[in-house]
Amino acid sequence: MFFIKEYKAKKIKAPDNYVNRKRILSSKNKNLIYLLHKRFNWMHKYLRKKKVVVELGSGSGCIEKIINNKKIILTDIIKYPWITKKVDMLKVNLGKKYIKKVDVFIINHSLHHCSSPYSTLRNLSKYLKKDGYILINEPECSFFLKLIQVILDDESWSLKAKVFSKKNIFNPKSPWISNTAVAQLLFKNRNEFHKNFKEYKMIENKLSEFLIFLNSGGVNSNFYYLKLNNFFLNSMNILDNILIFLFPNIFALNRTVVLKKINENKN
């Protein structure tokens, strides 16, 4: 499993975002809320005094429960009732009024559903202000993520995908097709990223989440979990940090990246 470069899930599974939204917004699951706080609370320092903040691929819109910021424009390829604007991440069709007006883009576990992440990041530059940010959480294609995806036949991955190309890395016919190796391929090698994206500076690139994810009960699925109080959740998070520090390729399930726009895209 550790050395498998590609896996294709047999079925394309679309999450029920109506059910997921209701479950998250009314949740008494402290484990899940703890996980979501870990995913989003670090973003606050980049959102202070920002006027135009856009989340791409908002899905259930669960960011509303964690970040109390009514300025966030929720977008998705499907116009759910809570979605502010219908946006295709591949084309980033925000409209002329947002060109060089966006302070921050948020991409939370949705970039790997984009058939050309290269094109998406390039298109975001057009809308970002100078010194604007892209805040990213994405799956990390570690041993345990691969194992989970095979056991659950959940999502696909390919470490052979050519992500530094405008060409699609998979068929864009469905927004639920994915490659969970995208973040690793794009961001693990900082020099390779900067060589291909001179308009951005990578200012954060961290790995996280193992047990706090596995025992969360699920974000887009509902699984059994062991209920824990904050003391044990904090202890579990410390253990995660130790395991990921020692063996990142085995345990890490999430990659957090912050990109800052420093130049205009001249391509």
Residue 28 belongs to domain with CATH number: 3.40.50.150
Q: Given the structure tokens 């060089």, which residue do they identify? A: 100
> In this structure, is residue 35 part of a structural domain?
yes
192-203-188 Cα angle (round to 5): 35
Q: How many domains does the chain have?
A: 1
Q: Is residue 1 part of a domain?
A: no
Do β-strands 72-76 and 53-56 pair in parallel, antiparallel, or remain unpaired?
A: parallel
- Where in the sequence is the domain holding 247, given as residue range(s)? 6-261
d(CA 28, CA 19): 15
How does pLDDT run along the chain (267 residues), one tens digit per residue?
567 889 999 888 888 999 999 988 888 899 999 999 999 999 999 999 999 999 999 999 989 888 888 789 999 999 999 999 999 999 999 999 999 999 999 999 999 999 999 999 999 999 999 999 999 999 999 999 999 999 999 899 999 999 999 999 998 888 889 999 999 999 999 999 999 999 999 999 999 999 999 999 999 888 899 999 999 999 999 999 999 999 999 999 999 999 999 988 766
The answer to whether residue 100 is domain-embedded is: yes
Q: Could you tell me if residue 266 is inside a domain?
A: no
pTM score, whole prediction: 0.95
The rounded distance, in Å, linking the Cα atoms of 74 and 61 is 7
pLDDT at residue 30, rounded to an integer: 94
Three-state SS at 129: strand
Q: Is residue 267 part of a domain?
A: no
Q: Distance between CA atoms of 254 and 196, rounded to whole angstroms? A: 23
d(C-alpha 11, C-alpha 59), whole Å? 20
